[in-house]
Amino acid sequence: MSAVAHEQPITDSPSQADILLESFLSLHSPEGFRAELIEGEIIVAPPPDGDHEDYISHLIKQVIRRSKTDMSVSGSKGLRLVSGGAFPKNHVIPDATFAPEELRLFRGAPSWMEPDGVAMVTEVTSSKPDQDRIAKRHCYARAGIPLYLLIDREKSQVSLFCKPHRDEYTEVHLAAFGEPLVLPDPFGFELDTKPFL
């Protein structure tokens, strides 16, 4: 009598989302490039140009000097955010992430941290502006990040998205470059957008 091997069905096989997330987390992007996983798509972006960094620099200086709450800022903090549908968690790196200094949110945080305690994220449009205008806006709203500031170079305007609900912000304030834009608490000051001209 001989034994016949029976194949057992594999019940713990990884899902498409698990495979995508594992591939993303093991990705080694070239030096200076950054990789993000947004709604099931891996995006690899080159280092930003000088104008991009100039906008971020002017924003950070104003927040540090003028905010009524002392703020910590990170220009490369990875955030793990809930995603829509059957995608793995989004892994997004905002151009700037702000949190109240008293929280010490970045200290001891892993490379990809949860967004709890983040007060505002900022993006400056680059080669794929719709990523910042649409996809990332939905990601940040779904994660409950209170404020999303978009510096839109192509439109020459700043958009402040407030009051997240589900995957959208219910309030938006616009200012053309050169016009002031009020940043609400915990920032509590008027952002000067003249340096963006």
pLDDT in tens, 168-188: 999 999 999 999 999 999 999
Residues in the chain: 197
170 near 163, Cβ under 8 Å? yes
* Of residues 143, 130, 44, 60, the one with CA closest to residue 95: 60
Rounded to the nearest 5 degrees, what angle is found at the Cα of 86, between the Cα atoms of 128 and 161? 45
**DSSP label of 49:** P
Mean of pLDDT over the chain: 92
What are the pLDDT digits (tens) for 36-82? 999 889 999 999 999 999 999 999 999 999 999 999 999 989 999 99
What are the pLDDT digits (tens) for 77-109? 999 999 887 788 899 999 999 999 999 999 999
Collapsing DSSP states into helix, strand and coil, what is residue 19? helix
